[in-house]
Amino acid sequence: MSMDAIKMLQGKKILLGVSGSIAAYKAATLIRLLVKEGAEVKVVMTTAAAGFITPLTLATLSKNEVPLNISDHNSWNNHVMLGRWADVMLIAPASANTLAKMALGLCDNLLLAVYLSATCPVLFAPAMDEDMWHHPATRSNVDKLISFGHQQIPVESGELASGLFGEGRMAEPEQILTFLQQHFQQKNGRKALNGTTAIVTAGPTIEHIDPVRYISNHSSGKMGIAIAEALADAGANVQLVLGPTSQKTTHPGITVTHVQTAQEMFDAVTTRYPAAGIVVAAAAVADYRPANVADKKIKKGEAQLHIDLEKTPDILRSLGDNKGPQQLLVGFSLETNNEKEYALKKLRDKNLDLIVMNSLADTGAGFNYDTNKVTLFDKNGNERSFPLKSKQAVAQDIVSAIIELQHA
């Protein structure tokens, strides 16, 4: 963690809302982390949350009284002031019940009274079982809260209180801490990647057979463009090297260079590489190209047509071989079998700092979808799996991992 990231929470006023979920036990660790970073923390709880962790525990850790009811500790008057006191209100865990009440504007407990009175930004970290998380009502409530301008801290996948394994786990306290730091960095105009030059490759390449035919693949470029936009949102100056696709970006922080072939992409990236601090190779580059390109359209003739193929330049290997000590290199691994084995091998062989693995076996992941499901492996041996999300949300997860590696 960089010193700049640590200073982001110094003196910040964090209002933590704890609702009724088994994940309430994580509030103790979260409070300790926030206090250690120099934040001032006040806590409001629901009575249901007090069944999982005591107000006394959270009061001791935060060094502030923890009211439960609207009448406690002059809360009838103070709930409005609490909402005005905070720099940010963080609701963690946010149960399905609390999310629903927030979306509807209900106000039957102190936490909700404070929420409705809050004039500060609101962040929420959902926590519930997988079926509850995927229920259309929950999805609608979350979308509505995001439309209010609130920020959702992504759920994680893992073992749930029900004993099942799936999505819905609250983010770990360390992840929530990082999310808060990034929130204040952006609010203060000190974005995490200010001044960093990033190269992103996206889309397919095409390899010509003759003037009208070519070899290509189904990549749409959506994932790479989403990553370029997320990097630009974090303050990076992004050079997007984009293969032939109908997808576009109008982000002012992105300069687009259009290419067609693997050789053109190799040349564009290689030229820009010395000045780059980050490279994300998200393009689906053709591995082979015709050894000889016909200068005229090949006419239909024999029953079979044989085309000799040769390897295209290995862009990622070249970047890894020439990587400087301050450069961070991210690759992708899209597989149909033995996904983890191949991803880790690619991470080692091509000298990557981070690899993004996804599988065509996962429904809703891969080419042409608006969603993706990824697992991240970094050079330090860390593995992090995420549920199926929009490609914009996946891009945020990838950029967060990049920022963490930069600040490690």
Kindly report, residue by residue over 340-375, the tens digit of the pLDDT: 999 999 999 999 999 999 877 666 555 667 788 899
Residue 140 located in a structural domain: yes
Q: Are 9 and 116 contained in the same domain?
A: yes
User: Is 315 part of any known ligand binding site?
Assistant: yes
Total count of residues recorded for the chain: 408
Residue 277 has pLDDT above 80, yes or no: yes
Residue 174: domain span: 3-187
Confidence of residue 406 (pLDDT cuts 50, 70, 90): confident
Residue 302 located in a structural domain: no
Residue 192 located in a structural domain: no
Q: Which range has the worst mean pLDDT, 48-52, 131-135, 269-273?
A: 131-135
| Residue 198 · residue 277 · CB < 8 Å | yes
Q: Which range has the worst mean pLDDT, 50-64, 124-138, 157-171, 382-396?
A: 157-171
User: Is 316 part of any known ligand binding site?
Assistant: yes
Active site residue 237: no
- What's the pTM value of the predicted model, to 2 decimals? 0.60
| Residue 99 · residue 59 · CB < 8 Å | no
Question: In terms of Cα–Cα distance, which of 353, 391, 356, 388 is closest to 373?
Answer: 388
User: Is 154 part of any known ligand binding site?
Assistant: no
Q: Are 44 and 140 contained in the same domain?
A: yes
3-state secondary structure of 271: helix
Q: Are 166 and 263 contained in the same domain?
A: no
User: Is 314 part of any known ligand binding site?
Assistant: yes
Residue 342 located in a structural domain: yes
Indicate the Cα dihedral angle 217, 223, 226, 230, nearest 10°.
Answer: -130
Q: Are 80 and 228 contained in the same domain?
A: no
Q: Which range has the worst mean pLDDT, 47-61, 172-186, 194-208?
A: 172-186
Q: Are 232 and 112 contained in the same domain?
A: no
Domain boundary among 135, 163, 187: 187
Residue 58 located in a structural domain: yes
User: Is 13 part of any known ligand binding site?
Assistant: no
Q: Which range has the worst mean pLDDT, 4-8, 152-156, 226-230?
A: 4-8
Residue 301 located in a structural domain: no
Question: Domain total for the chain?
Answer: 2
Backbone angles phi, psi at 297, to 5 degrees: -60, 130
User: Is 106 part of any known ligand binding site?
Assistant: no
Residue 107 located in a structural domain: yes
Confidence (pLDDT) at 183: 81
Q: Are 147 and 59 contained in the same domain?
A: yes
Given the residues 64, 97, 217, 351, the one annotated as active site: 217
